[in-house]
Copies of this chain bind each other. A is one copy, B any other.
Amino acid sequence: MRQNVTIRDVAQRAGVSAATASRVLSGNPSTSASARAKVRQAARELQFHVNARAKSLRRQQTDTIGLLLPDIRNPFFAEIAQAAEQAALAAGMTTLLCNANESTAQQDLYLKLLVAQRVDGIIAAPQGDGSGKLDETIALGLPLVFVDRVIEGVDVPSVTSDNWSGVRQAVRHLVGLGHRRIGFVTGSQETSTGRERLQAYREALVRAGIRPDKTLIRYGNFQTESGLVAARSLLDLSQPPTAVIAADSLMTLGVVQACNELGLVIGETLSVIGYDDTETTRALSPGLTVISHDPAAMGTQAFAMLRDVLGGRRVPSVVLPVSLVIRNSTGPVPLVSASATSESGARR
């Protein structure tokens, strides 16, 4: 049998009661030096590892947080995960990773599981409108912090980044280069980021005196493949856009893949602005102009906020700034538009 060593065994070997052993091992100061020495030694000899489940049953606190993310394969969320998890570790807390797979159903499944596990709190990049399990969880009073995404209308502190400003800067940059037909590949409208970025795109166009054109908008799902499909479809238009903005890192990759497929020269025949400045985007050539924010900071910050909530403090939401990193994937409008030369030209 594995791991039967209980605190009682340690106590016995040390010649003290379990109560004393417990006090020594949990650093309770009212213990004698001799008891401390004997218990520590016994624990070492027996390779004692406290049973965290039993402990948390008694203490009514698990030192565990849930981290509910839509997709860990998305480098943006991977960064958040890494940062949050390292911060938790430093605070002596364990992280339960929950990968909702961009599915509200699976998110609900995981929320149930987190409640059952009696995690002390949850950091989530939520999905959906807050109906279902998410509302229930909030009603339960489980400490919760949103990261990146939010649910409108619920009172939960959040760390997000400034989607409006990011997209506005991107559109302004393109307009400044003379673009007027700007395509937009948006993410799931089930998410706040998906909605906000799309809205920001429309608004920024209007401000620039351009009437938003439905045919230039494509709805993706934050996955590479959807970006690829969206871009293909945009570029297949009889009047294709001269620039495309993608609203998330993976979809950005999809757009770039589509350009490569079609042999477009990014930054010349087509301008592209991506989302998230990841190691990937930095490896692309030509360098990608991106809306950049700081997922690691978001993760760290989210954990700090959760600790505050756990500590009973009231914390305000934070919106982190974003910046537009201009590289070589954006340029002036070509004299002849993207695929006018090849396909749609032939179509007339």
Contacts and interface: CB of A to CB of B under 8 A. Distances in A.
Interface of A: 2-3, 47, 49-54, 56-57, 62, 67, 71-73, 75, 78-79, 81-82, 85-86, 89, 94-97, 99, 101, 106, 109-110, 112-113, 115-118, 136, 140-142, 224, 250, 253-254, 256-257, 259-260, 279-280, 282-285, 287
Given A52-B116, A53-B56, A79 B86 contact: no
Q: How many copies of the chain does the oligomer comprise?
A: 2
Given A49-B115, A89-B109, A280-B280, 18 more contacts: A49-B112, A53-B118, A57-B57, A71-B82, A73-B75, A73-B78, A73-B79, A73-B82, A78-B78, A82-B99, A89-B106, A89-B110, A94-B96, A97-B97, A253-B279, A253-B280, A260-B287, A284-B284
A293 B89 CA distance: 31
22 contacts: A2-B142, A3-B142, A47-B136, A51-B118, A53-B56, A53-B57, A53-B62, A72-B78, A73-B82, A75-B78, A78-B78, A82-B99, A86-B101, A94-B96, A96-B96, A250-B279, A253-B279, A259-B285, A260-B287, A280-B280, A280-B283, A285-B285
Nearest to A256: B283
Contacts of A141: 2-3
6 pairs of A and B residues whose beta carbons are closest in the complex? A97-B97, A2-B141, A253-B283, A280-B280, A52-B116, A260-B285
A176 B327 CA distance: 37
Contacts of A112: 49
Nearest to A260: B285
A135 to B, nearest CB: 12
A338 to B, nearest CB: 16
A118 B57 contact: no
B52 A279 contact: no
A67 B85 CA distance: 13
A54 B58 CA distance: 9
